Amino acid sequence: MGSPSVRITSRRILLYIKRNRRQVLSFLMFLALSALLWFSIKLNRQYVHTVTYEVNFNGMDARDEIVALQPPLIKLEINTHGYEILFFRFSRTPVVTLDLDQTILRETAQPGVFYLTAQSLVARISSQLPLSSSVLSVKPDTLFFRISRIQSRMVPVVPVLSSGFKPATDLHDTLHITPDSVLISGDEARIGQTSFIKTSPVTLPTGEGAFRVTAALINPYPEHLRLETDRVEISGAVSKFVEKSFMAQVITSDTVITAGVLKNQTVEVHCQIPAEEISVFNPLSVEVVAARLVKEGSSLFAILEARGPAYVKKIRLIPERILVEPVSD
pLDDT tens per residue across all 329 residues of the chain: 455 555 667 777 777 777 777 777 777 787 777 777 766 666 666 667 777 777 777 756 556 667 777 777 878 777 776 656 656 665 666 777 766 655 667 778 877 788 877 777 776 666 666 666 767 777 787 878 777 767 788 999 999 988 888 888 888 887 899 999 999 988 777 888 899 999 999 988 888 888 999 999 999 988 778 899 999 999 998 999 999 999 999 999 888 888 888 998 999 999 999 999 999 999 999 999 998 899 988 899 999 999 999 899 999 999 999 999 887 65
Question: 324: which residues sit within 8 A by CB, 6+ positions away?
Answer: 256, 259, 260, 261, 262, 263, 293, 300, 301, 302
**What's this model's pTM, rounded to 2 decimal places?**
0.51
DSSP code at position 83? H
The pairing of beta strand 231-252 with beta strand 287-296: parallel
- CA separation (Å) from 240 to 208, 281, 306? 7, 15, 22
Amino acid identity for residue 221 in this structure: Y
